[in-house]
Amino acid sequence: KSSKLSLGYQLLKLIKSEELTFLMEAHDALSAAIVAEAGFPAIWASGFSISTSLGYRDVNECSWTQVVDVVERMVDASCKPILVDGDSGFGNFNNARIFSKKLFERGAAGICIEDKVFPKMNSFVGNRHPLADIGEFCGRLKAIRDTVPKDEFVLIARTEAFIAGQGIDEALDRAHAYAYANAGVDGILIHSRRHEPNEVFAFSDAWKNRLPLVIVPTKYYTTPASEYKNAGISAAIWANHNMRAAVNAMRSICQVVLKEEGVKNVEDGIADLSEVFSLLDYDELDISEGIYLS
The residues of the shown chain that bind Mg ion, judged by CB under 5 A, are 47-48, 85
Which of Mg ion, ligand SPV, none interacts with 213 (beta carbon under 5 to 8 A by kind)?
none
Comparing CB distances to Mg ion, the nearer of 17 and 65 is 65
Residue 60 as a binder of ligand SPV (CB under 6 A): the answer is: no
> What would the x/- binding string for ligand SPV be over residues 216 to 255, using CB under 6 A?
x-x--------------------xx---------------
For residue 204, state whether it binds ligand SPV (rule: CB under 6 A): no
Q: Which is nearer to Mg ion, 85 or 186 (CB)?
A: 85
* Given 6, 92, 122, 166, the residue binding ligand SPV (CB under 6 A): 122
- Given the complex with ligand SPV, which of 41 and 86 has the nearer CB atom? 86
How many other CB atoms are found less than 10 A from the CB of residue 139? 18
Residue placing its CB nearer to ligand SPV in the complex, 207 or 220: 220
> Is there a catalytic annotation at residue 58?
yes
Q: Say how far apart CA 231 and CA 221 lie, in whole Å.
A: 16
Q: Which of 58, 85, 87, 186 is catalytic?
A: 58
Q: Given its phi and psi angles, is residue 133 left (phi above 0), alpha (psi -120 to 50 degrees) or beta?
A: beta
| Inter-residue contact 144 to 182 (CB < 8 Å) | no
Pairing label, strands 82-85, 110-114: parallel
**Cβ atoms of 25 and 244 closer than 8 Å:** no
* Residue 206: Cβ within 10 Å count: 13
Say whether residue 88 binds ligand SPV (CB under 6 A): no
Query: Which residues in the 89-118 window bind ligand SPV by CB under 6 A?
Result: none
Please say which residue, 60 or 218, places its beta carbon nearer to ligand SPV: 218
Nearest distance from residue 220's CB to Mg ion, in Å? 17
CA dist 120 → 80, 223, 264 (Å): 27, 28, 44
Which partner, ligand SPV, Mg ion, none, binds residue 239 by CB below 5 to 8 Å per kind? Answer: ligand SPV
Tell me how many residues contact ligand SPV (CB under 6 A): 10
CA distance 13 to 235: 11
How far is the C-alpha of 166 from the C-alpha of 101, rounded, in Å?
32
The least distance separating Mg ion from the CB of residue 49, rounded to whole angstroms, comes to: 8
Task: Choose the one of ligand SPV, Mg ion, none that binds residue 52, judging by a C-beta under 5 to 8 angstroms depending on kind.
Answer: none
Is 186 an interacting residue with respect to ligand SPV (CB under 6 A)?
Answer: no
Picked from Mg ion, ligand SPV, none, the partner binding residue 218 (CB below 5 to 8 A depending on kind) is: ligand SPV
Q: How far is the CB of 85 from ligand SPV (least distance, A)?
A: 5
Chain contacts with ligand SPV (rule: CB under 6 A): 46-48, 85, 122-123, 216, 218, 239-240
- Active-site annotation, residues: 58
